[in-house]
Structure 1
Amino acid sequence: MPVHTPAPRSARRPALPRRPSGPALFAVLLPLALACAQSRDTSHDACPPEAPALATGGAPHALRTVFVIVMENQDWSDIAGNPAAPYVNGTLLPAFAHALDYRTGGLHPSLGNYVWLEAGDPLGIHFDAPPADVPLPVTCHLATYLEDVGLTWKAYAEGIAGDTCPLVNEGTYAVRHDPFVYFEDVSGHPFDPHSARCIAHVRPFEELASDLAAGTVPRYSFIIPDVCDDGHDACPPLNDPVAQQDAFLAREVPAIMDSAAYRDGGVILVVWDEGHRGDHPIGLIAVSPLAKPGYAAPGAYTHGSTVRTVQEILGVTPLLRTAASSASLSDLFTAYP
């Protein structure tokens, strides 16, 4: 009987690594998920082909100096008629103009909306993060435009010391509410807490009073209350974000109105960064000697409208990104720009 010789076995395959599961899988996927969530679309970074310039010709502008004050996270329906906001409802709305349909397209959370107010576009930001995690190498934004044409600007932020560039949260100062420090041409590449340009322009809020008194306030001022005064957090003693916002405005808006800069063609734009539900209307109030008293503007507006209005008042071209396609706030004024 012939002997059957079995065929030689093939070499054993090496063992495959075990797939992570449970906590191990979570540890692997979480950094990837965060990286995806915090990646931004850079397709809107490009600058217009034209260099920034001052508009020429035409009559002198009736409006000359702009103050922007940003409040936090309320739909307009949370403010209008709310007894917790007596200054807004009893003083500002009867005397000045406001928008009824100012929206952000449902953009949340804060950072993208603040960048929109500076760059004319959220620049693909749909998350909150410190500057180190979302550096913006973009040079065409409002502050740089103003400097390029010889106009002055400052951000006045509560809760900062003024001896360094405030690149991180500190106390009640929220860096995500300070769009300027995200731009590398302001804060350095890499970001530098000793950036001279940043320190010169991003100043403690307390300096606004002395600049107003001395007549040295810049043509464009961006006012950044802390997370209590802007109503982001509920803080003692009021423990009510709407009441906190109203108290801040009742204290600080009259101080600006008492200045020569305001009386001579000034405008204070009080704007909320976003609502807290979907894409409902948020607040925009135009306080100015040239604002229409008690007027509720029916037009559709966005943060691009605010940027366009600032550029048109200050005469700076070209319009930045969505500012070019957004309606200006001209309807809120008796004379414009």
Structure 2
Amino acid sequence: MHRRSRTSKIILGLVFGLASLLLIGAKASFAQVPQVQHVIIVVEENTDYADVCGPNNTSSMPLLCGLQIQGSFSANYYAPTHPSIGNYNDLGWGVVTTNNDGCNPSSCGFPYTGDNIVREVQAVSKTWKGYSESLPSTCYFGGDSGQYAVRHSPIPYISDVQSNCLNRYVAFEDPNLGFAHDLAANMLPNYAFIAPNLCDDGHDCTLPGSPIPDQWLQNNVIQPLLNGGHLDPTTGDTVLIVTFDESNADNTNGGGLVYWFMMGKGVKQNYQSTGPSASPGFYSHESTLRVIAELLGVSFSGLGGAASAPDMTEFFGPSGPAPVASLSPTSLTFASQSVGTTSAAQTVTLSNTGTATLTISSIVASGDFAETDNCGGSLASGGNCSISVTFTPTASGTRTGSSSVTDNASGSPQTVGLTGTGAAPTTTASLSPTSLTFASQTVGTTSAAQTVTLSNTGTATLAISSIVASGDFAQTNNCGGSLAVGGNCAINVTFSPTASGTRTGSLRVTDNASGSPQTAGLTGTGTASTTTASLSPASLTFASQTVGTTSAAQTVTLTNTGSAALAITTISTSGDFAETDNCGSSVAVGGNCAINVTFSPTASGTRTGSLRATDNTSGSPQTVSLTGAGSSIAADFSLSVAPTSGTITAGQSATFTLNVTPSGGFNQAVNLTCGGAPQAATCTISPAAVTPNGSSASTATITLSTTARGTVGPGLRPRRIFPLLGDQLELTKILWLTVMITLLAGLIAGRRRQMRLPLGLAMLMVVLGAGCTGGVQGTTPVSGTPAGTYTLTLTGSSGTGSSALTHSITVTLTVN
């Protein structure tokens, strides 16, 4: 029994081990595909592989193709059939059920009741959703409607969908149930099939040609998923598949070679597959159905051809660094350019969107195109550089070429198509404005200039033969003999009418441009010259003036307001009036001169007269009425002051107003002075002279400024020579003292020798007393303006000699 037990255990172990090996072998493919939360598939329409992301970056979907660095794509993927509907059958349940595009979800034996991807997803309690753009309504299972094509999705043909469609088969753009809403609300289903409408899937907005499908896919699906981090290969939770239902004109392997792309969690980056090695040696929609099931962890054994389709495990795993080069834009078109001239540059950007440094071997432009660039020999990952392309046509007509970048990236060389049109050089000139009108101009005079601009709007240098103005018109210009392309110059035209009335002419530019000569019409009006003069003011009134004296002058202006020179015959005055002027014998048009009139009454009372200018104007002579009053009162002036007295403290200032009032029409200058200012004080007058106008007073301001008083310190006083004699030492006392000292000295020198010593001691004491004694302090001297009452004399003087007039007035100032 014991041996049997051991043998049984060994046999059972071998059986379990073999079963495990078989199971591991069967699940090996499955284990290499990561499990993700969401799988999203977007199917585009009817486009050949080469027209999506073809060779040399000639892409009709540059945004999609630019994502290759972030994902994987296949260059060996074929649609199984034509037309559309069978391909969508294959993507939904792994079998081409029909090739009749006219079948609706309720005809041709539909709905499909066999095993399908929706059933398998529901079987493991996962969610699904069909997003069809332009779907008329939720759970719509009718035929085509507007931009909605029912055959472009397998979802409405499945019985499991028709029986459980509420909130699951919806319009892509539905604001409450659509894709954008679910993505923002973090409510994406585990499996989502997105069907763009007939334009956005490339069916009607055809590829290549229309940018709409690429932009719609980028803006509405890919970029929102990238922004949310869902497609991150490491931390994301989603795998996105983008493919095409069938090719446009290729029938290879049934439906032709189409583009297939995948990115997201666990997907290799910058990976291109040319596999698989397994039969049939290419991928198809059934492999896509299989990998979707594997990513979601659901069974695919009942999904038709998906059960045996080549697995797509090669697209998953770590990615190696590699450069990816792209050029943008992929083509340039230049405007028409004159043969032999060079266009402005257009810019192409070379970008390395790969994960390794791009090594650049060469950048070359062909044909009539040239390039400069700042790319150097390499471009770091994520970097870009600029290629500037110019067009210099060597002949007219359409010119083509390319700019090619040879590097170490796949698809090298990258190229940009270049097109331009060469144009034979032309000369075209224009004048602006095409006519000039001059205002009325006096015959024989010249107007201000008006400007006409000559422009070279052609593509060759403008050769100028002549520029001429006809009629009463003349021109000057800065054009020279030629004008460069795009250049312009100024022609200044003046009008000098030789007769009155409408005058016409033209400006003509003769050159090598078509349509030469270019002309501008010239029109002006000549007017006969007129002489018109005016005197201003029209009258003068003089103030009262003493009989026998002459007033100050008043001025009258003579103006030539006409259109011809003013010829002056005489200018004269009548009555007690006289004139001087600077008019001469003529005044130019618009000019003027001054006539100065004075009044010298010969009698008292009102005196009248006139100023007359005789000339060649109509209405000559021009006159100005003159009026003045003669007075028998001699011209004089008087002084008054306010206030007449003032009191201030030493150090302050006092201000008085002096009025000079004329009488008898006095109107001469009066000089003003101030006298009698106290010690340490100044008296100023402002202004120092006034001139009355003969009738009203003129004023001046008198300012007396004093100085504050102070004392002199003891140390500054002189020392006394003989302090015992006091401050006032008289000269006679000094002499007597000198005599006494001399007599004493004689006695000492004489007979009484015995007295010498006492007398000598006395003299020494006197001298010492005089030298050492500081003396008695006396009275301290005072500085500043002393206190007291002062009389200031204000004097006004006018004229000299016997006709001089002088008047004075006093003002009392008390200083405390």
Q: Same fold (TM over 0.5)?
A: yes
Give the Cα separation in 2 of the matches to 1:169 and 1:318: 30
Q: How does 1:239-318 map to 2 (within 5 A)?
A: 243-251=211-219, 252-259=221-228, 261-263=230-232, 264-276=236-248, 277-279=250-252, 280-299=256-275, 300-318=282-300
Greater relative contact order: 1 or 2 (C-alpha under 8 angstroms, separation 6 or more)? 1
Give the Cα separation in 1 of the matches to 2:289 and 2:171: 23
Give the Cα separation in 2 of the matches to 1:174 and 1:241: 21
Could you tell me the TM-score, scaled by structure 2's length?
0.31
Give the Cα separation in 1 of the matches to 2:33 and 2:247: 36
Give the Cα separation in 2 of the matches to 1:162 and 1:261: 29
**2:198 maps to 1:227:** yes
Indicate the residue corresponding to 1:216 in structure 2.
187
Give the Cα separation in 2 of the matches to 1:292 and 1:71: 23
Indicate the residue corresponding to 1:205 in structure 2.
172
Give the Cα separation in 1 of the matches to 2:274 and 2:230: 29
**2:63 maps to 1:87:** yes
Gaps in structure 2 of 5+ consecutive residues = 1-29, 276-281, 319-816
The amino acid of 1:68's aligned partner reads I
Once the two structures are TM-superposed, the CA of residue 229 in structure 1 deviates from its matched residue by 0.4
Indicate the residue corresponding to 2:116 in structure 1.
141
Q: How does 1:62-211 map to 2 (within 5 A)?
A: 62-80=35-53, 81-89=57-65, 91-105=66-80, 107-123=81-97, 125-129=98-102, 130-134=104-108, 135-187=110-162, 197-206=164-173, 207-211=178-182
Contact 2:105 2:141 in 1 (8 A): no
Once the two structures are TM-superposed, the CA of residue 96 in structure 1 deviates from its matched residue by 1.4
Once the two structures are TM-superposed, the CA of residue 104 in structure 1 deviates from its matched residue by 2.0
Deviations 1:102-133, CA, capped at 9 Å, x for gaps: 0123x00001101110101112x122022232
Contact 1:165 1:198 in 2 (8 A): no
Q: 1:141 to 1:110 in 2, by over 3 A?
A: same
Contact 1:64 1:219 in 2 (8 A): yes
Once the two structures are TM-superposed, the CA of residue 289 in structure 1 deviates from its matched residue by 4.1
Deviations 1:263-304, CA, capped at 9 Å, x for gaps: 433110001101112123101100214322221111121000
Give the Cα separation in 1 of the matches to 2:36 and 2:245: 23
Once the two structures are TM-superposed, the CA of residue 60 in structure 1 deviates from its matched residue by 10
Give the Cα separation in 2 of the matches to 1:262 and 1:101: 24
Contact 2:139 2:169 in 1 (8 A): no
The amino acid of 1:99's aligned partner reads S
Query: After the TM superposition, which of the residue ranges 62-71 and 239-248 deviates more from structure 2?
Result: 239-248
Q: 1:271 to 1:59 in 2, by over 3 A?
A: closer
Could you tell me the TM-score, scaled by structure 1's length?
0.73
The amino acid of 2:92's aligned partner reads E
Gaps in structure 1 of 5+ consecutive residues = 1-56, 189-196
Contact 1:110 1:128 in 2 (8 A): yes
The amino acid of 1:132's aligned partner reads S
Give the Cα separation in 1 of the matches to 2:228 and 2:183: 6
The amino acid of 1:86's aligned partner reads P
Query: After the TM superposition, which of the residue ranges 241-250 and 94-103 deviates more from structure 2?
Result: 241-250
SS of 2:47's equivalent? coil
Once the two structures are TM-superposed, the CA of residue 262 in structure 1 deviates from its matched residue by 4.0
SS of 2:76's equivalent? strand
Once the two structures are TM-superposed, the CA of residue 199 in structure 1 deviates from its matched residue by 3.4
Indicate the residue corresponding to 1:193 in structure 2.
none
SS of 1:275's equivalent? coil
Contact 1:98 1:296 in 2 (8 A): yes
Once the two structures are TM-superposed, the CA of residue 223 in structure 1 deviates from its matched residue by 0.5
Deviations 1:34-87, CA, capped at 9 Å, x for gaps: xxxxxxxxxxxxxxxxxxxxxxx9799443310000000111111113343221
Deviations 1:172-193, CA, capped at 9 Å, x for gaps: 01001121211233225xxxxx
Deviations 1:205-256, CA, capped at 9 Å, x for gaps: 1211111111110011111100100000027xxx956522211222121112
SS of 1:132's equivalent? coil
Indicate the residue corresponding to 1:30 in structure 2.
none
Q: 1:170 to 1:287 in 2, by over 3 A?
A: same
Q: 1:59 to 1:96 in 2, by over 3 A?
A: closer
Q: 1:246 to 1:114 in 2, by over 3 A?
A: same
Once the two structures are TM-superposed, the CA of residue 259 in structure 1 deviates from its matched residue by 2.9
Give the Cα separation in 2 of the matches to 1:273 and 1:212: 25
Contact 1:271 1:283 in 2 (8 A): yes
Higher helix share: 1
Higher strand share: 2
Indicate the residue corresponding to 1:334 in structure 2.
317
The amino acid of 1:74's aligned partner reads T
Give the Cα separation in 1 of the matches to 2:230 and 2:70: 19
The amino acid of 2:51's aligned partner reads D
Contact 1:102 1:281 in 2 (8 A): yes
Q: 1:293 to 1:152 in 2, by over 3 A?
A: same
Q: 1:59 to 1:298 in 2, by over 3 A?
A: closer
Contact 2:106 2:141 in 1 (8 A): no
Q: 1:214 to 1:109 in 2, by over 3 A?
A: same
Contact 1:72 1:272 in 2 (8 A): yes
Query: Which of 1 and 2 has greater Rg?
Result: 2
Give the Cα separation in 2 of the matches to 1:262 and 1:313: 14
Contact 1:267 1:289 in 2 (8 A): yes
Taking only aligned residues, the RMSD between alpha carbons, in angstroms, comes to 2.3
